Structure 1
Amino acid sequence: MADREERRFAEVSRDSVKLMAESSGVELGDDVAALLAEDVCYRLREAAQSSSQFMRHAKRRKLTVEDFNKALRWSNVEAISGYGSQDALPFRSVKEGELFFVEDRDINLIELALATNIPKGCAETMVRVNVAYLDGKGNIEPQGTVPTAVQSLSEDLLKYYQQITRAILGEDPHLMKVALQDIQSNSKIAALLPYFVYVISGVKSVSHDLEQLNRLLHMVKSLVQNPYLYLGSYVRSLVSSVMYCILEPLAASINPLNDHWTLRDYAALLLSHIFWTHGDLVSGLYHQILLSLQKVLSDPVRPLCSHYGAVVGLHALGWKAVERVLFPHLPAYWANLQAVLDDYSVSNAQVKADGHKVYGAILVGTLTL
């Protein structure tokens, strides 16, 4: 076993990176070229590993260009063009040095232009639209980056989208309930998924309104529970929006009369539901969630409401998350929390009340161990 040959990988050299940069008119230093070469090697190995998974799922032993392009699309990288030919590439060598290149064949542009068999483009058709603000006023000006869809929306789908968003973000609770039930069971709204995800990503713009945040979280739940939707890469965006409601010091939390604690509890349960039902769609999602919760919990500058969100989030993910993140950090955190609870000054009354919330969440969380 000790004599087994060490696994080797193909590497892109520093000189190759510098040569590519110089061909584009960019001069790189040796240190920068070395870092770029290392990153390029990692990205290529990652893409090769992902493409090999597509190959195995297709029960093939030969890796194709389409497998590689699928891996690139899965990583939100534009697919490569011009390498889908089934014919072997004719390589030629240069006598002056050890250099090999692909020989370009001559193409008759007239014959190509007049050909009846038009080649299919590799890029998918995309459209851009304006999405209404979350204020319910129907403003159709763009708010940030607008989502892209892989197909044009029909007039019926566009009307459906407008009515659903107005019902969910409107003031009629009955219409909101009907709209949420519909997107939870509708089998024909796959084309609208990017638009719904984009609306949900606007949680930051309504952090002052607990009611709107609660409606958006219910919208997330309805999409997650729809058995006809494949969330795919949108899981990460949904998790990010839910994590915002759990961890961030919302503008609504400034007023002690606002019950943002219940919102964080619901968001934590929703985060757990998303992970256990769709977590396998995103590689490393569990580790990323734990890392975010740990980062907030270990930051003494963050307010206690954020610490509370981190604790209830860990508790919602199960005893393994509590044992892995909360339990090792508890001795150091407990001393700081105890100092807050022992301060009986009038100016510390609100902070102390928040501390008791965190204290109760820790007790509930540690009961799972």
Structure 2
Amino acid sequence: MGQHSKKFPRTPHSATRVMAPASTYAPASVVAVADTIGAPRPSDEAAKALASDVEYRLRTIIQDAIKIMRHCKRETLRAEDVNAALKLRNCEPLYGFGTGTSSVQYKRTKEDPEVFYLDEREIDVRELITKRLPRPPVDVNLVPHWLAVEGVQPMIPENPMPLAPEPKPLQPPLGSKRPRARAEGGGDPDAGGLQPVVSHVLTKELQYYFDKVTALVRGAGRAEASDRDVDLLARALRSLGEDVGLHNLMPYFTQFITEETTASLRDLPRLRVLIQMIRALISNPDINVELYLHQLMPSVVTCVVAKRLCQNLDEDHWSLRDDAANTVAFVCAKFGAAYPSIQPRITRTLLRALLDTKPLTTHYGAVRGLQALGPKVVRETIMPNLRAYMTNTLEPALEAPKPLDDSELKNASEEDRNIAVAKAKLAVLRHTDAQRVMGALQEAVGACLRDEIGDAENAAREKRLADQLMRWHRIDGAGRFEKDETATGKDAPAKKTPVSPNSPSRQGRGATAKGAKSAVVPKAAPLVRGRRTRGTTPDDDIGDAAAAHAPNVAVAETHV
């Protein structure tokens, strides 16, 4: 014990010798310890001195352990407190004692109540052999792990799990309506269980921008809107089509457009402004509109094929349908490569609206939408069904309505007179709508035919140019043959070679015999394609180019 312990200061001697109290640690214990470790038996005086020294050291260690226990705010002395006190004294700690309560039970001997012994149970060797072996202990090793990667704590067992913050309900901007959330069990949504509407927070600037734009759309989308409102709306639409940083507002703008289209289905000025707003948002290159096309396109298609888009039937709702059809074509042209199914789906919707028994206003919008998608769409959808549509639907509506007979109106009752006048107005309105549909069909079919005729003209012109180029090469080959024959005639006798009567060489010899100047046909100039002027043909253009490069050649040789 003295080998691992620290030397304690001795008590200073005084002139008057004070008798030390009797030692609690008995000298017999010192003798017993000496016999245990194999040391020589000490004398009685040495045993007393060692006992008093051991008692002093034990008291010091116990006092330090009690201090540590009190600093830990505990009232029970533990083995770890004793070990900490030993470490303070630079002594080796106790081994074999845990921090908890020990399961070792001590019992007093019957002969001497001051002597304790361990109650050890007997172990059966057969039970010990047949007992299942415990799992081997895991080797002590060092395992590194990341506490945080770029400020984010990895979700691994070594790291503590972060506490999830309680969700706070976020309010949408003032300009948008809050949708009614479904309550648990399908009951009243106001009873409780509301979920947060959005998962992100908008800045105050974006909320102010959204409120201003929606207010301008509602204000300028009125029949009595002032010039100032129209001017501010034009600036707002320009901002929607050019500004960056508006992507966070796209869910709110989409919801606003959908709700306003549903609520203002017969408000023509409001629908015009909404179509302009959709066109501006789609035109913005800094907004990812692809995620919201499935919500925006129903509003646009509704403005194309809806049954009625105005409160008064005399209003010009035809221009709104034209603008919406152009917007549909713009969306298909811009996002058709990324989403190949968008144009076929819209085409099927428009064709179904055209062939179904619906009002003529819907048929007009369907024809305009199919025409805006291109001549190929018209060729594949309208042209195969044109005859049946004209015979069954449009021709009966194109018949002029019968005028009212004044004599019959005078003899009829007031109620019958009102019914007859209303029917006459509806017949006139239906005749006007049929004329509109007829005009749209004529434009669509005309554009399709012009496209086909243009392709046929281009193909015929290409063929004529290719034939003329082959003729030039033939004329050039005949001229070279005549030059070679003239050059070899000086040294060797000329050989008679049969020449066709229509060949350029025979025509040249005939012209020389009549006194005309003989000329060698030069090599044809390269063919240059360009835009021709009105009133000329492709053959005239080629003949003029050849005459300009070969002025001495007869006209019969260059102009075919």
Same-fold call, TM cutoff 0.5: yes
Q: Corresponding residue for 2:325?
A: 268
Quick one: distance in 1 between partners of 2:298 and 2:384? 25
Larger relative contact order, structure 1 or 2 (CA cutoff 8 Å, min sep 6): 1
Kept in 1, the 8 Å contact 2:328–2:369? The answer is yes
Shift of 1:151: 2.4
Q: Corresponding residue for 2:509?
A: none
Asked if 1:167 corresponds to 2:216, the answer is: yes
Secondary structure of the 2:301 match is helix
Give the counterpart letter for 2:445 in structure 1: T
Instruction: Give 1:209's match in structure 2, choosing from 267, 272, 278.
Output: 267
For residues 204-260 of structure 1, the C-alpha deviation after alignment (integer angstroms, 9 at most, x for no partner) is 2101111100000010011011110111221122221110000011241x6232100
Cα distance, 1:313–1:141 mapped onto 2, change above 3 Å: closer
Cα distance, 1:326–1:197 mapped onto 2, change above 3 Å: same
Secondary structure of the 1:188 match is coil
Kept in 2, the 8 Å contact 1:296–1:310? The answer is yes
In the comparison of the two structures, how many residue pairs are matched? 248
Quick one: distance in 2 between partners of 1:357 and 1:191? 42
Shift of 1:332: 1.1
Shift of 1:352: 0.3
For residues 152-211 of structure 1, the C-alpha deviation after alignment (integer angstroms, 9 at most, x for no partner) is 111111111111111222131111111111111110111001111111112121011111
Q: Percent identity at matched positions?
A: 27
Give the counterpart letter for 2:256 in structure 1: V
Instruction: Give 1:158's match in structure 2, choosing from 207, 213, 216.
Output: 207
Quick one: distance in 1 between partners of 2:428 and 2:180? 39
Q: Corresponding residue for 1:259?
A: 316
Quick one: distance in 1 between partners of 2:327 and 2:315? 20
Cα distance, 1:130–1:185 mapped onto 2, change above 3 Å: closer
Kept in 1, the 8 Å contact 2:242–2:284? The answer is yes
Asked if 1:219 corresponds to 2:277, the answer is: yes
Q: Corresponding residue for 2:437?
A: 358
Cα distance, 1:194–1:280 mapped onto 2, change above 3 Å: farther
Q: Corresponding residue for 2:347?
A: 290
What TM-score results when the alignment is normalised by the length of structure 2? 0.41
Quick one: distance in 1 between partners of 2:379 and 2:309? 31
Asked if 1:116 corresponds to 2:187, the answer is: no
Shift of 1:113: 9.2
Secondary structure of the 1:184 match is helix
Q: Which sections of structure 1, spanning at least 5 residues, go unmatched? A: 1-110, 133-139
Q: Corresponding residue for 1:50?
A: none
Asked if 1:317 corresponds to 2:373, the answer is: yes
Higher helix proportion = 1
Consecutive aligned runs of 4 or more in structure 1 exceeding 4 Å deviation: 111-114, 117-121, 125-128, 143-150
Kept in 2, the 8 Å contact 1:242–1:267? The answer is yes
Secondary structure of the 2:439 match is helix
Cα distance, 1:337–1:143 mapped onto 2, change above 3 Å: farther
Q: Corresponding residue for 1:308?
A: 364
What TM-score results when the alignment is normalised by the length of structure 1? 0.61
Asked if 1:332 corresponds to 2:368, the answer is: no
Q: Which moved more, 1:230-239 or 1:268-277?
A: 230-239
Quick one: distance in 2 between partners of 1:148 and 1:245? 29
Cα distance, 1:340–1:349 mapped onto 2, change above 3 Å: same
Larger radius of gyration: 2
Cα distance, 1:153–1:367 mapped onto 2, change above 3 Å: same
Shift of 1:356: 0.2
* Two-structure CA RMSD over aligned residues (Å): 3.0
For residues 126-174 of structure 1, the C-alpha deviation after alignment (integer angstroms, 9 at most, x for no partner) is 9562664xxxxxxx65367899655211111111111111122213111
Quick one: distance in 2 between partners of 1:299 and 1:207? 21
Kept in 2, the 8 Å contact 1:147–1:195? The answer is no
Q: Which sections of structure 2, spanning at least 5 residues, go unmatched? A: 1-154, 182-194, 221-228, 404-423, 449-560
Q: Which moved more, 1:305-314 or 1:202-211?
A: 202-211
Quick one: distance in 2 between partners of 1:119 and 1:308? 60
